[in-house]
Amino acid sequence: MPTKCLATYHTTIKLSENVIADKKTDIYLHLGEVNNLARIRVNGKDMGVVWTAPFRIKITDAVIRGENKIDIEVANLWPNRLIGDEKKPDDGIKDNKWPDWLLNGKPRTSGRYTFTTYKHYNVDSPLLKSGLIGPVKIMTVKKTK
């Protein structure tokens, strides 16, 4: 069952021959602000995960002259999903009994994605800052060697 806790952003960037050919610089993808972590792929190559500032990753070895496909997958926060589900009918534990849909292996009818045995949040709980905030930039940095 999907939890909708991942958001994927797709874009393309065009790089000139001059940028690619300059062996004295490295090329970085700078994500700006991310809450809380992101996996980056450039032209299908997994570049890794960023989870702390400055939220940038070296992409020199993955980029090519011309169009480059960039995919950024951001893990959003579980509390926000729980808060969002509070807008749906409660089909969870009632009178200390597991719900029939769960016991019988049936799909949920409420539209909720999450199931917990304790309510940590309510419909009025504030959402936490989450996702790719940006701004996203391509940076070139002179090599120090």
Sheet holding 56-58, edge to edge: 56-58, 25-30, 137-142
CATH topology of domain 6-77+127-140: Jelly Rolls (2.60.120)
Quick one: tokens of 124? 């009025």
What residue segments make up the domains of the chain, in order of their start?
A: 6-77+127-140
In whole angstroms, give the CA distance from residue 58 to residue 65: 16
Contact in structure between 31 and 55 (CB atoms under 8 Å)? yes
Q: What pLDDT does residue 4 have?
A: 56
What tens digit of pLDDT does each residue of 20-60 get? 888 899 999 999 999 989 999 999 999 999 999 999 999 99
Q: What pLDDT does residue 2 have?
A: 45
What tens digit of pLDDT does each residue of 98-107 get? 999 999 999 9
Mind spelling out the 3-state secondary structure of 89-120?
A: CCCCCECCECCHHHHCCCCCCCCCCCCCCCCC
The pTM assigned to this predicted structure is 0.77
Cα 19–23–25 angle (5° rounding)?
65
